[in-house]
Amino acid sequence: MILNPNCSEQVFRLSGDLEYIKKQVLNMIDCIENEDRKPTAHWKKIYDDARKKVKNVKTLGDFQKIGFTFTCNYETFFVPENDTLVVATCNNHIWDSVDYEPMNQESYYEYVKYNYYDIIAEGKTWIAIQNKDKSKSNTYLLEIADKNKSIKRLQISRYSKGNPNIQLKEINGIFYNFKDSDRIPLVSIRNKKKRERIAEKVLAEVI
């Protein structure tokens, strides 16, 4: 039963053994690519990269590391639940080749659990963020876990009237930014001197 037909969130459950569930997720990618008709080389690579990640899944828990930002209107995330996989996605795609059990679409945000954060300062490899919900005025100093990567790789929205913002999903204390079919982990800055240096810079920029 669709409780709110004006919204395009969609939540469904995949059941079966691991290989069967992986097959259904691969079918999802096929559905999206088929709708694309003639994808460019750029999008072809994105779909192929997503397929590789799904094929490399060894446990249901591994699906938490995968996110599809290329689904229309709403990003797709996967949440293991008991021996099944809950898929939080959107209904703008026709999942005709996917064997799934519909769920309450209003539970999308219960499963996704991502937040938008304002960026109050950033460097080459670090970022200072603050909850957009002002009732939770937590400030986080984060750095990209891979020292060879830069902040430029993150999906940052710079189109808002206010500060640039970023969408992050927290899993076990690590903040993940999803870019195409990849996920980029950010961790709290542990080095005391580095934290103090960045905190001074953040304070100066905010003031």
DSSP, residue by residue, 13-81: EE-S-HHHHHHHHHHHHHHHHHHHSS--HHHHHHHHHHHHHHHT--SGGGGGG-EETTSSSS-EEEEEE
Pairing relation of β-strands 126-131 and 139-144?
antiparallel
Same domain, residue pair 108 and 122: no
Contact present, 199 and 141 (Cβ < 8 Å): yes
Taking only the tens place, the pLDDT of each residue in 8-25 is 899 999 999 999 999 999
Same domain, residue pair 125 and 202: yes
Is pLDDT above 50 for 128? Answer: yes
Same domain, residue pair 81 and 172: no
Same domain, residue pair 17 and 63: yes
Same domain, residue pair 127 and 187: yes
Cα 172 → chain centroid: 14
Residue 4's pLDDT is 43
Residue 200 lies in a domain: yes
Is pLDDT above 90 for 88? Answer: yes
Residue 134's pLDDT is 57
- Looking at 67, 94, 112, the residue that finishes a domain is 112
Give the mean model confidence (pLDDT) for residues 156-173: 79
Closest C-alpha among 109, 157, 159 to residue 7: 109
Measured CA angle at 176 (ends 141, 110), to 5 deg: 110
What is the model's pTM?
Answer: 0.72
Same domain, residue pair 66 and 102: yes
Residue 180 lies in a domain: yes
Same domain, residue pair 24 and 96: yes
Residue 2 lies in a domain: no
Same domain, residue pair 107 and 120: no
Residue 138 lies in a domain: yes
Instruction: Compute how many other C-beta atoms are within 10 angstroms of the C-beta atom of residue 38.
Output: 6
Give the mean model confidence (pLDDT) for residues 150-175: 81
Residue 2's pLDDT is 38
Same domain, residue pair 29 and 100: yes
Contact present, 121 and 164 (Cβ < 8 Å): no
Residue 100 lies in a domain: yes
Residue 123: partners with Cβ closer than 8 Å, 6 or more residues away: 151, 198, 201
Residue 15 lies in a domain: yes
Q: What is the DSSP letter of 197?
A: H
Query: What pLDDT band is residue 3 in, cutting at 50, 70 and 90?
Result: very low
Residue 161's pLDDT is 63
Residue 27's pLDDT is 98
Q: Which domain holds residue 172?
A: 114-206
Place of tokens 């103090």: 196
- Looking at 55, 79, 112, the residue that finishes a domain is 112
Same domain, residue pair 127 and 95: no
Count of domains observed in the chain: 2
Cα 67 → chain centroid: 5
Same domain, residue pair 164 and 132: yes
Residue 38 lies in a domain: yes
- Looking at 59, 83, 112, the residue that finishes a domain is 112
CA 188 to each of CA 31, 37, 140, 165, 196: distance values in angstroms, whole numbers, following the listed order: 38, 42, 7, 18, 13
Contact present, 140 and 188 (Cβ < 8 Å): yes
Residue 1 lies in a domain: no
Same domain, residue pair 169 and 182: yes
Residue 177's pLDDT is 85
Contact present, 141 and 126 (Cβ < 8 Å): yes
Taking only the tens place, the pLDDT of each residue in 71-84 is 988 889 999 999 99
